[in-house]
Amino acid sequence: MAQAFFLLAATFIPLLLSPVAYIIGRRYGINITTWFSFGALAISTILLFIPAMMLQGGHSVYKESYQWSQFGNFGLRLDGLSLPFAIIIYILCTVLALYSKPYMIHKILEDAHERFGGKKISSTFQSEHSNSAETGGRGSDHADESTREVKEHHHNLSSSEVTEGTTAFTATTTTETAGTRTATTARELATLDLHTRTYVNSQMGLYFALYLAFSMGMLGTVLATNLIEFYVFFELMLVPSFFLIAFYGYGARRRIALMFFFWTHVGAVVLLLGLLAMGFFAGGFDYDTVKANASKIPVPWLSIIIFSLVIGLGVKLAAFLLHIWLPYAHAEAPTPVSALLSPAMIGIGAYGILRLWLELLTGSYAQYSLYINIWGLATMIYGGAMALMQDDIKKVLAYSSISQMGYILFGIGSGSLLGITGGTLVYVTHGLGKAILFMMAGSIILQTGTRSMSKLGGLAGKMPYTAVIAMIGALTIIGIPPTSGFMSEWILFNGVLQTGVQDMNSFRVVLFAFGILTTVLSSAYILWMYKRIFFGKIPQQLAHVKDASRYVIVTMAVLAAITLIIGVYPEPLLRPITTYIQGTFAHTPQVLPLPTSSKGQGVNNINYDNDGKFSSASNLHIHEAVSHIEMNEPGLHNQGLYTIAASNAFNLLNNIGTYEVANSIQIDHTDHMDVSSWKRAVDAEQVYHKSSCQQLVCVESI
């Protein structure tokens, strides 16, 4: 079969088109560059979904590989782990490209007012505001009244809020009809003088160029198949995000961008040391090479490598003690960028821990899992407690992101397949829920000019669509059905409890109890924020506020729909994740398998009927050192996973007939498999056989 290029195209189309987006922005204006960028990301997302559908159709891995000089192969791999990360990253990037249009116009015009002064911009809008009197004869009066209210409250706002809200009003970047703040339209932009309009167009073009490069860096990181390739993409997503904060942020944005760059780059350098050591001792940088030769890494060096991986990726994850940069960067970044930094980018640190440590150095996981579990709990509690103390909406969400990364670490350190699966799925639910809430914050900033909750209240009646969609995002973060957050947290906490109970480890049970209590803390800060924004008495100056433009509401609604769909039907993401986690720890008995109706592990999971026949074997693992397996009795019924590893021969003879509801049959490293009387498999959804299986003979294939 010819080599396909779906992942290569999906990864590099945004990067290659980023200069084009800048040129289009300068020459043809905001609308065209917005839709061009959206189109580039939409096409890339479709290309990503094509191999993703192959995973749903029976393949366990989709991989593209290209020779890459002395570093090994440059590859892009989509499997059960990279699938949820890649899908969420590109869905968010595509949706937020459209959301960016009204928000970034608002922000860039604020900067233009600061750069050129108020006269150039304000004078061009005088006729526009005088025309608002046509709507009932009250528009100009309310505009004057609103201007006075803004001035009265100006001294009460922080410096970032001033630039974020009231400056935009005095610069008249929004029209005021009956006192309502609405997004700047193309018609109003046309009234700007040529110099200011050129500035706005070029800045929008530059924004989308950096935005596309940032998207490419995130996707490339989770698809990489080589340690050096991973590091290159890991740094590539840092550079454009630094410039997005430095150019378009609020407050002391350059200082905050430098803080962000310093912390994350130092973490990346620590990570690089571990990656180089892994590659040196393993004899290559490809993931497959490292995994095959992990036993060659000296034990003293193994601890150093794991420490460098966890610390380097922990900085990106913003885990407790390594989180200093996150509240500043996420609060002061422009909201569309915050909605990528928090839901998408920081979670890539968790992906790195899963891929680089748990997969490539699997044997070392069990001895350190408890420490990761404790670290995750500390991160959950700290982030939640700090979020509860904030008045700034974006800082609440920033600290909430720290807490949510704690949930992921809590699951990764659970010591069970169930907990690790739940922790991985939390990335999906956090990405969707937190993106919705950041978009809510941006909508409120656009419409009210402030992000201080003490100056808000009663907006549910004025912004009903925003309120309803924001509640869906809030329920996702809290973990309430039918949102996707419920499924991920349910699986995660079940995994943590499973380890404590089955190992009879009282300390693990105590950690589980504190973890459950932390969900109350998460609910508290989310619901408290929601109440202060949308309920209570509405301030007088916000009496005429209404919902933001369709660019904002529709994009928020799309993400809300996705989280509800995944909450009701998580199987397309949950099954690949589960299959991947099971395969990773197939030979690690210290990690608890998925709960089954039978007891024990390995061949102990087989239940025999009185006549010696197999029935209701929920989980049959036949591990290494099995030279020959012969089964002459009728087959297994209602099995969940059938794994054959390192078997020289596997023969199903004569009466082996039906395999009912066999969700997954996985054959690893099998020299020969003869299915001589395999008539058919009822509802067999997936059959995997890897390239190392030299011969597979089926009389009647499934």
Give yes or no: residues 554 and 620 share one domain: no
Secondary structure (3-state) at 664: strand
Q: What is the pLDDT of residue 186?
A: 52
294 is written with which tokens? 């992990």
Give yes or no: residues 428 and 558 share one domain: yes
Secondary structure (3-state) at 596: coil
Whether residue 280 contacts residue 266, with contact meaning beta carbons closer than 8 Å, is answered with: no
- Which carries the bigger pLDDT value, residue 619 or residue 241? 241
pLDDT at 394 over 50: yes
pLDDT band at residue 90 using 50, 70 and 90 as cut-offs: very high
179 CB-side CA count, 13 A? 17
Residue 609's Cβ-count burial label (10 Å; 0-12, 13-18, 19+) is exposed
Give yes or no: residues 434 and 489 share one domain: yes
Give kind and range of the element (H or E) at residue 180.
strand 180-182
Secondary structure (3-state) at 461: coil
Q: What is the pLDDT of residue 587?
A: 85
Domain final position from 584, 613, 639: 584
Question: What stretches of 27-151 adopt beta strand conformation (E)?
Answer: 62-67, 73-78
pLDDT band at residue 188 using 50, 70 and 90 as cut-offs: low
Sign of CA dihedral 180, 185, 190, 196: positive
Assigned domain for 594 exists: no
pLDDT at 666 over 60: no
pLDDT over 70, % of the chain: 73
676 is written with which tokens? 């001589």
Q: Which residue in 526, 380, 540 sits closest to 448, CA to CA?
A: 540
pLDDT at 677 over 70: no
What is the arithmetic mean of pLDDT over 49-73?
82
Q: Name, in order, each residue with C-beta under 8 angstroms of 162's C-beta and a sequence gap of 6 or more.
A: 154
Strands 619-622 and 641-645: parallel
Please provide residue 588's backbone torsions phi and psi, each rounded to the nearest 5 degrees: -120, 85
pLDDT band at residue 383 using 50, 70 and 90 as cut-offs: very high
pLDDT band at residue 595 using 50, 70 and 90 as cut-offs: confident
Q: What is the pLDDT of residue 364?
A: 83
Give yes or no: residues 359 and 264 share one domain: yes
Assigned domain for 92 exists: yes
Assigned domain for 341 exists: yes
Q: Name, in order, each residue with C-beta under 8 angstroms of 701's C-beta and a sequence gap of 6 or more.
A: none
Domain final position from 549, 584, 619: 584
136 is written with which tokens? 């009932």
pLDDT at 165 over 60: no
Assigned domain for 143 exists: no
Domain final position from 584, 615, 642: 584
Q: What is the pLDDT of residue 73?
A: 85
Q: What size, in residues, is the chain?
A: 702
DSSP readout, 612-635?
Answer: S-B---SEEEE-SSB--EEE-S--
**Lowest pLDDT segment from 433-447, 503-517, 644-658:** 644-658
Helix axes 550-568, 82-116, angle to 10 degrees: 160
Q: What is the pLDDT of residue 3?
A: 66
Assigned domain for 356 exists: yes
Give yes or no: residues 391 and 288 share one domain: yes
Strands 73-78 and 62-67: antiparallel
pLDDT at 418 over 50: yes
Domain limits for position 97? 6-105+197-584
Q: DSSP character for 4? A: P
Between the alpha carbon of residue 493 and those of residues 223, 476, 502, 565, the distances in Å are: 28, 16, 14, 22
d(CA 208, CA 191): 23
Q: Which residue in 363, 420, 411, 402 sits closest to 574, CA to CA?
A: 420
644 is written with which tokens? 């054959």
pLDDT band at residue 357 using 50, 70 and 90 as cut-offs: very high
141 is written with which tokens? 């009066």
107 is written with which tokens? 């922000």
DSSP readout, 415-454?
Answer: SBHHHHHHHHHHHHHHHHHHHHHHHHHHHHHHHHS--BGG
Whether residue 80 contacts residue 581, with contact meaning beta carbons closer than 8 Å, is answered with: yes
What is the arithmetic mean of pLDDT over 346-369?
92
Q: DSSP character for 353? A: I
pLDDT at 177 over 60: no
Give yes or no: residues 326 and 399 share one domain: yes
pLDDT at 688 over 90: no
What is the arithmetic mean of pLDDT over 404-419?
95
Amino acid, single-letter form, for residue 371: Y
Amino acid, single-letter form, for residue 604: N
Give yes or no: residues 238 and 385 share one domain: yes
Number of domains in the chain: 2
Highest mean pLDDT range out of 423-427, 601-605, 637-641? Answer: 423-427
Please provide residue 630's backbone torsions phi and psi, each rounded to the nearest 5 degrees: -130, 130
pLDDT, tens only, 4-22: 789 999 999 999 999 999 9
d(CA 557, CA 466): 9
- Round the average pLDDT of the chain to a whole number and report it: 79
Give yes or no: residues 496 and 625 share one domain: no
What is the arithmetic mean of pLDDT over 33-39?
96
Give yes or no: residues 507 and 624 share one domain: no
Residue 619's beta-bridge partner residues?
641
d(CA 168, CA 188): 14
pLDDT band at residue 110 using 50, 70 and 90 as cut-offs: confident
Assigned domain for 157 exists: no
**Lowest pLDDT segment from 40-44, 70-74, 369-373, 604-608:** 604-608
Q: pTM of the full predicted structure?
A: 0.79
Q: DSSP character for 363? A: G
Q: What is the pLDDT of residue 187?
A: 55
pLDDT at 635 over 90: no
Give yes or no: residues 246 and 360 share one domain: yes
d(CA 40, CA 44): 6
| Chain center to CA of 566 | 14
- Which carries the bigger pLDDT value, residue 488 or residue 658? 488
CA dihedral 181, 183, 187, 193 (to 10 degrees): 90
What is the arithmetic mean of pLDDT over 392-411?
96
d(CA 341, CA 431): 10
Residue indicated by tokens 């419409």: 447
Q: What is the pLDDT of residue 118?
A: 53
d(CA 345, CA 377): 21
Residue 182's beta-bridge partner residues?
175
Assigned domain for 87 exists: yes
Q: Which residues of 190-217 are buried (b: 16+ CB within 10 A; e: fewer)?
A: ebbeeebbebbbbbbbbbbbbbbbbbbb
Whether residue 96 contacts residue 555, with contact meaning beta carbons closer than 8 Å, is answered with: yes
pLDDT over 90, % of the chain: 63
Residue 333's beta-bridge partner residues?
none
pLDDT, tens only, 134-151: 333 333 343 344 333 433
Give yes or no: residues 444 and 470 share one domain: yes
Residue 384's Cβ-count burial label (10 Å; 0-12, 13-18, 19+) is buried
Give yes or no: residues 554 and 615 share one domain: no
pLDDT band at residue 180 using 50, 70 and 90 as cut-offs: very low
Residue 610's Cβ-count burial label (10 Å; 0-12, 13-18, 19+) is exposed
Strands 629-631 and 650-652: parallel
Assigned domain for 363 exists: yes
